[in-house]
Every structure is written in structure tokens, then in C-alpha cells.
Structure 1
């Protein structure tokens, strides 16, 4: 068993970053490139943390929303079947609404039109991040025993916490990576036909390669908590408000995962207000809104979606809360000299649609397919034309998603600081758009296909 990369070793693909996207790609390459003939190296600076059920541990708030397309790919790699069932919750209904009665739409699993679905009753999945990551690492560990994966995130090819992999190019044209390992004084170096940057939004590999980055901060933070519910449900909801969206996603343990975007919030009061509050003077229902009580507003939503009553949180889990800054960005291209970008190293989007990890998994799926074909035909895996083909496939799709979410957020935030006719007109237009989307089947189907990853 090869547990580390010796000095000046040579590998076919070096994946820098053993997170969800990097580990998924490495596992896909191991299976698709007929390993152990192909050698795949995974370099990861952070040790894996053992998984525990979310009900038993305080720091398991991180979850990921996965589309059916991502689920199928993980299943094809033998990963999905091994994730603990208690770490997976599915939802079959998504209720989206805004500030007025007109601004609402419901998507259901029955709206799906894809023929490859393994479970047509599911619109999406909520998975505990730690459970998914640990399962991926276990699969990589097993792959390393066959010799195909030179090292895994649980083995000695781990960087010291205070060092990044240093990327250079050798005289032979191969990429050269050097890094310090935790248990060795001397740096370790390796030559690779292709280096894959899966090292996050602040990717040192991307910066070293000189690939451009365009992005900005939203100057807000997303606040995440677990809210307790009386019973499990399969309903996900999202409400768009001037300060940003609030989302409640099911966890399946009589609790829900809350993402509240705000600069300041008292959790429970803010959540009740965000979900059920009435905003007087907003939208075409301004007159009735000024006299409607919060209880009446909540009853209206219950009538629109009967299962909405299950999403009235009774308490906030005090064990842990966390927040993260919101920003978006994209690399100007995904490929450089023997380097290619995947996941957050290539693109960062607003979390309001839960598509970040899914776009990264779609990157991994596309790159694995392209490299598989190249490997079978004996081509150099670092061939610029191969990497350019990957960019042509993934950059337009990811950019469309990034811009769509940015536009959607602006549409629902406008006009956030004005009152009167302009605001009523904006609300009316939003409502008409959502009603049209609700009733025009082809448009509705297109949105569902996009949300479930069927266009990737």
C-alpha cells in the first residue's frame, strides 16, 4: 500500500483539496481511469473529523443540499449507499414566497420530467456534510489499497496547517507541486501531468497559476441554526425579503436547518417575523396588510400550503450557531498550464438555492468524463485542448447559475428603501412572473430541471 508521495514522485493527476468536490473527483478518476494504472494524488491540509448523528453532537450544523443529479453521481461511485441513513433527509416540496400574497409558487417532485431519476418522489436531499465527507474519505482509503490513489486525506500526503502546496513547472513541462507534511521536516515534491485545484474560494493554486478572478462581497452574513419542530416533514421553504432570503430545510430529526441572511437577528423572533410577518405598505396587498394580524397572515400561508403549519419553530437549538460571509465570484477561465479549477476554486455563488456543492460535483463529473476519454485514447491529461473543452462545458453553465441567482436576489430586494407606487409595481410584476411560472408548464419544467441538476 502506498501511503505517501516520495520526493520527486510522478503522478497522473494531483488533486489539491480533499473536500467534497476534490474527494468526489479523485474517487471518480480512480474508477474511470482504470486504476491502478493511473496514479491519483490527493493533498488535503485538514484532517477528517469522525461523523456523529446531528442529534448527538453540537457542531454538526453544516449540511449540504444535493440535487437528484448529484445523488445519482455519488451513487454511481458507490458513495451514496454508504452514507448513514440518519444523515440524509429528502424533501418533495419547495414553497417559495415573497412579501405579498401574489408572490408565491410551489414546486413539487411530481413536476420532474427527467427519466433517469432513482426516486421520482424526491425534489432534493439535505445531507450532513461531515457524514458525506467521511464516507468519501473511507472510499478513497479503500481505493488507496489498490494502489490507484497514491494518498488520501487520511494518509501522510497532508500539508501542514500553515503551508500551501507550491506550484511550479518543470523543464519537462510537467507541473511540480511541493509542500510540507505534518510529520516530515523536509518538503515533499511531486510531478503531475495535471493539477486540479479543489482548494476553495481563496485557492492558492489558482492564484499561483495567475488565473483571473472576478467577484465581490454582499456585505452580509448568513446565520445558520437548528430550529426544533414538532414533527419531521418533507417541505423546504424560502421567503424573499428586502434584506435577503430566509430558508428552512428539513433535517428529519424533528428539527429543521435554518439559514437566515441578516446583519443582526434575534433568532426566534426574527424567524417568526421572517416567515409569518406582514410588511405593511408593500405590494398590492398593502391595504389589507396594514390590518391583517400575524396570526391571520400565518393562516393565509397555511391555506396556500397545508404542511406549512409544520414549519412553525418552537425553539432554537442553543448548542451551536454559526455564520459565514456572503460573496460571489468566478474565475475568468477554468484552465491554465496543466492546471484546472473545480468547485469553489472556480466559482462561488449565493447559497439561496443550495447549488454551490452541486455545481462543484457537476464540475467533477464533467472533468472525470473528459479525462476518461483522453486516458483511453492515450492522450496527455494536461493537453491544453482537453482542459479548454472542460472550461467550455462548465464555465457557461456555472456563470448562468451565478448571474441568475444574483439577479433573483436583486429582483426580490428591489425596491428595498422606497415606498409607494414603485414598490407596489415591483411587487405586482414579481407576482405576475411567479404566477406565470406556476401555470406555464414548459417554463415550470425548465426551472425544475435546472434546480434538480438535470441541465448539468
Structure 2
């Protein structure tokens, strides 16, 4: 875009994106940097929709899994206690199984009593995304001014500075430049019925998601690919309460059942599968057919598909024998709950993975999905982003307190060195886990038998060695494992 001239204002930190990660980071920086006088700008035109409790007639279809480590971080910022209790469901147990009686493992918070930070011990929490985002935005609005960053206070760089604690601009981010006449990065913003304007920032934080426009304007390289799959999501009412998180590994992808609502009376279904199967599940199957297919995939129940040939074929391909005597009771469902926003009872999103090869460049740093995208099978996406936010807030606090330039490459390199290896390890682990349980998808005979045997032996080994199982739990929940 053409230059808009000198910036009209400046900020020490500009965060582009007020989703869960960007909003949490803004609160963390407010906690650590505002008292010493840092100027923080948050840029995002979106407002969080109002949360309403789930009931038999309507629900929000999007949820996030929160680990104990992330819960502790949110609590330290005053967010967790402000979440509506009806939007949080703790689960103390995770049961995962595959295609045979040997391929099963149970993780329980009781394995880590005294080592998990939650009380009572929980492996994690299923939180309605709308409630979390609305609570974060309310916390921000308590400390933020909703105004354009054109205050009269004088900044260190000679421009007018963002005034107040946090300035939340509802403008849209357009582009990013590095003019030779100014040492800082320059954000170009626009808003309806107002002329474009520019803000200079010592540090620009990209928290604008997997398709980050900020990242695209840097020298950072993105490596990734599509899984050529989609995750089909639905909210269902359980026949009986259930507080156990369940994951069944099927050849075309995992099927997750996540407890929701007061006492676990509802479940969030997240079914990852190939494109054709996802199309059938989301749009072609009736509500009763979708529930029958889910039961079949969980239980290996013989379901009559009637005269619907694709339905009968789907059930025969999606059912795998299990020995029920070796498995705990998995829930059954009585009806789908439609979305509160558009009335749909199912929706889907494409699955892919990717990572930036570096997290910082030229006064820009990446967090959350702007830096990395992982498969949803372990519910780690948001938690990795929150860990990014926590680490970056700590690094910037240390730099600010010692008088260093927070946009200096040596400062940002500390964050990248800490987070890039950890996030990459998780990305590789989840991709490998997906491949292990998907192999082989088309063959039968010796290859299939060997693959199942190796999976079963590995899961049985973890199941029977309590210290190893405890370590796996602590790693997955973000807790110290040594």
C-alpha cells in the first residue's frame, strides 16, 4: 500500500489479533509491563459474542481443551475465576482405544496426585470458546480504552503515544512497513468512515491466526501441508452423565468425545476423517444417522442402515470389533443440539499442520496459530499458544526491566529458542501419532496384524508402568515431569 506518511501515534507493543491467545497475552503484558509505563496497542475489529448456557435447544459448537498449566496461567491473570461455571467441565480421566482389545490405555489424574496443580486433580477442562473469549474481552475492557491511538501524550520516539493502560483499536490491520525514516515497524490501519492511519511500534506481535497477514509480510518461512481431512464437530445430549474424555483411533482419524455442561450431561464430538466421510457426516446424514454412526464407531453396534446404501457401507467401514468386557462404558447419545448462532447441528473445519521456521524477524514475533498449527487429536493447539504468550510475557518483562529494546533481535531470540523446539516436538509427535493409528488404512493381513500388535504392545506397556504413565500425563497437561 502507499505510504501514509509519518505515524500518528506510537506504542511499545502492538498485538494484532484479539483471539484467545492475543487477548491473554495483552492481559499478561498489562500485568507485567504497564506499571513500568509500557504502551500496549491491541488491534482487532471483532467483538466476542455473548455466551449463553448450553441447554436442550441451543449451544455453541466450539470448545477448547485447557490443560492444568494453562488453567493456572489464566487464573494468575484473573480470568479463570470470572469464567461462568456452566461453561467449564473438568475431566479427571481420559480413555483412549484403537481397533483391538489390546489397543487401550487409561490416563487418570489420580496417577499424579500431588503433582498436578489443580484441586481436585483434573487432566484438563473443556471450556466453551465463546465464554472464554467473552471473559477475556471483559477483562481487557476493564483496563483498556476503546479509542483510536491518537492520544496527546508524548512518546519516547517523539510521536504521540498510546495513552492509558491498553489501547484497543477496532481498526483493521492492512499492512506492515519498515520505513527508513523511523527505527520502529509501522502498522497501517483502517476503519470504516475514517481515513487510514499508521502506528509505530517497537514490537509487533502476530496473534492473527494460521493465515496470519502479519507473518505473510515478514521474511519468515512457513512449512506445512494439508491432511486432506476435516474434523466434524457436534454437540449432543448424553443419555447418562459422563465426565470421562474418550478418544477412539479409527483408520481415517480419531473420534473424540469430550464432556460438557453441568455434570457432563452433554458431549462435544470431534470426528476427524477424510473428505468424503466428512461430507456424509456433516451434510448428508440425518441427525439419527449421525448418532447411529457415532455409536457404531464407538461400540461396534450392528445398526440397520435401512435402504440407504451409502449409510450401510459407511457403517460397515467404520465399525471395528472390540471386547466390551475389557472396556469401560462409553456414553450413548439421545439427540443433537443445534448451534445458537445459525441453527446447524454439525459443522466441520479442514485439518492441516504447519510451522514457521522461525518466530521472530525485524521487530515482529509470532504466537499461537500464527507460529504453528497442530492436529487437534490431543487438544494442544490453544495450550501451545497460551504457553507462547506466557513465555513471551516473561521474556519481555525481563528485557523491559533491564532497559533493553524489547524489539531487539537478541531479546526475541530468547523467546524463539525456548518455544520453537517445544512446539516443533509437539507437532512432530502428534503427526507421528496420527500416522501410527492410521496405518494401514487399506490393507489387511500381516501388515495390519503387525501394526495392531505394535500399537497394542506400546499402549499396554504405558498402561502397566505407572511412573511412565504418570510422566505422559504430566507432559500432556503442561506440568513439570521430572
2-structure distance, mates of 1:415, 1:191: 53
Give TM-score scaled by structure 1 length. Answer: 0.88
1-structure distance, mates of 2:178, 2:13: 14
Residue 294 of structure 2 corresponds to residue 271 of structure 1: yes
Q: Could you tell me whether the CA contact under 8 Å between 2:94 and 2:246 is conserved in 1?
A: yes
2-structure distance, mates of 1:296, 1:383: 55
Following superposition, the deviation at residue 255 of structure 1 comes to: 1.2
Q: Could you tell me whether the CA contact under 8 Å between 1:194 and 1:382 is conserved in 2?
A: yes
1:367 to 371, 384, 392: 392
Cα RMSD (Å): 2.3
Residue 182 of structure 2 corresponds to residue 159 of structure 1: no
1:248 to 257, 276, 285: 257
Residue 466 of structure 2 corresponds to residue 427 of structure 1: no
Q: Which residue of 2 aligns with 1:283?
A: none
Alignment of 1:183-222 (within 5 A): 184-222=193-231
| Number of corresponding residues | 425
Q: Could you tell me whether the CA contact under 8 Å between 2:248 and 2:255 is conserved in 1?
A: yes
Q: Could you tell me whether the CA contact under 8 Å between 2:204 and 2:365 is conserved in 1?
A: yes
2-structure distance, mates of 1:32, 1:301: 53
Q: Which residue of 1 aligns with 2:270?
A: 259
2-structure distance, mates of 1:129, 1:57: 18
Distance of aligned partners of 1:301 and 1:46 in 2 relative to their CA distance in 1, 3 Å threshold: farther
1:403 to 411, 416, 428: 428
2-structure distance, mates of 1:36, 1:11: 14
Q: Which residue of 1 aligns with 2:130?
A: 130
1-structure distance, mates of 2:74, 2:320: 44
Following superposition, the deviation at residue 56 of structure 1 comes to: 7.2
Distance of aligned partners of 1:360 and 1:346 in 2 relative to their CA distance in 1, 3 Å threshold: same
Following superposition, the deviation at residue 37 of structure 1 comes to: 1.1
Q: Which residue of 2 aligns with 1:384?
A: 409
Following superposition, the deviation at residue 313 of structure 1 comes to: 1.5
2-structure distance, mates of 1:129, 1:213: 27
Residue 365 of structure 2 corresponds to residue 312 of structure 1: no
2-structure distance, mates of 1:295, 1:195: 49
Q: Which stretch has the larger CA shift, 437-446 or 359-368? A: 437-446
Distance of aligned partners of 1:333 and 1:455 in 2 relative to their CA distance in 1, 3 Å threshold: farther
TM-superposition CA deviations, 1:139-166 (whole Å, max 9, x none) = 11111259544423xxxx1234xxx331
TM-superposition CA deviations, 1:382-418 (whole Å, max 9, x none) = 0101111101100000001000000000000101110
In structure 2, the gaps of 5 or more residues are: 1-5, 147-162, 303-317
* Partner-residue secondary structure (3-state), 2:118: coil
Q: Could you tell me whether the CA contact under 8 Å between 1:30 and 1:149 is conserved in 2?
A: yes
Q: Which residue of 2 aligns with 1:339?
A: 364
Q: Which residue of 1 aligns with 2:3?
A: none
In structure 1, the gaps of 5 or more residues are: 1-5, 280-293
Give TM-score scaled by structure 2 length. Answer: 0.84
